[in-house]
Amino acid sequence: MNLNKFLDVNAEVAKAIEEGKPVVALESTIISHGMPYPQNVETALQVEQIIRDNGAVPATIAIIGGRLKAGLTPEEIEYFGKKGQAIHKASRRDLAVLCSRGEDGATTVTTTMIIAHMAGIKIFATGGIGGVHRGAETTMDISADLEELGQTPMMVVCAGAKSILDLGLTLEYLETKGVPVIGFGTEELPAFYTRSSGFKVDYRIDTPKELAAAFKASGDMGLKAGMLVANPIPEEYAMPLDVINRAIDTAIAQANEKGIKGKETTPFLLAKVAELTGGDSLASNIQLVFNNAKVAAQTAVELSRM
């Protein structure tokens, strides 16, 4: 374990890592920026319970008072949920300043990977990853998540990339970075709210044991890139493609009209899509996170046996 001087590993998480038991990292942006209080806290605690129910130890990642936290207490999750969007959304570029100032930060996919990797955690469950934004050929708006996947050896279980993105370019970028995109039980990249996108993944794998074996092989070879597992939203919670696409197109047009750019883009688009779908997209979002937590925990259990 890398005992970074800014890092605090929760006692339960540290013990599990030391004993080679399965641990799954979770992000904290979904708590602070993903949904309102108290739904955010309830959802975060439910996700942790799903991981426990499937045999692994949850480690919610965050920055509190300038300390990198690998594993939060229920009280810390409550604190995050109540403070909400007043907490800084922290990507790689923000870590040094937030820690030196003793501030709080909600971790994105990027920063969750960084902190979890420091702690020795290998598997991370999230909702969807960031990617190449539509129009990136002129705006250069590309999520730091893709760069992190190219340099941090961690398995990230998600429901694909959010369909507010350019999914074709996102896959091209991941290929350039040497990141395998694996469909869990599917040959098609899921698009967050929907099970299909029209884009093929690199490989289809059908069991957590096979996922663990592929990830272990990558580590044994010393490959530095991460591995992206795209796990489709359960069919009963998926949204019709035309409904979600219509909402996304409207949201993107409104973001352009308002001149919203950079890290404000994704939170604005997701909130607007939730509004336009009457909250259906938020309900889908919660269910896909639950599903990803389950697959990540089962895979972490298999990896711990290898």
> Which residues are designated catalytic?
27, 162
Of the candidates 174, 152, 170, the one whose C-alpha atom is nearest the C-alpha of residue 226 is 152
**C-alpha–C-alpha distance, residues 283 and 291, integer Å:** 13
- 272, two tokens: 């607007």
Identity of the residue numbered 295:
V
Burial class (CB within 10 angstroms; exposed 0-12, middle 13-18, buried 19+) of 132: buried
> The dihedral of CA 282, 166, 202, 154: what is its sign?
negative
**C-alpha–C-alpha distance, residues 48 and 42, integer Å:** 10
Identity of the residue numbered 7:
L
Q: Are 43 and 289 in contact (CB under 8 A)?
A: yes
- 80 Ramachandran zone, left/alpha/beta (phi>0; psi -120 to 50): alpha
**C-alpha–C-alpha distance, residues 246 and 218, integer Å:** 39
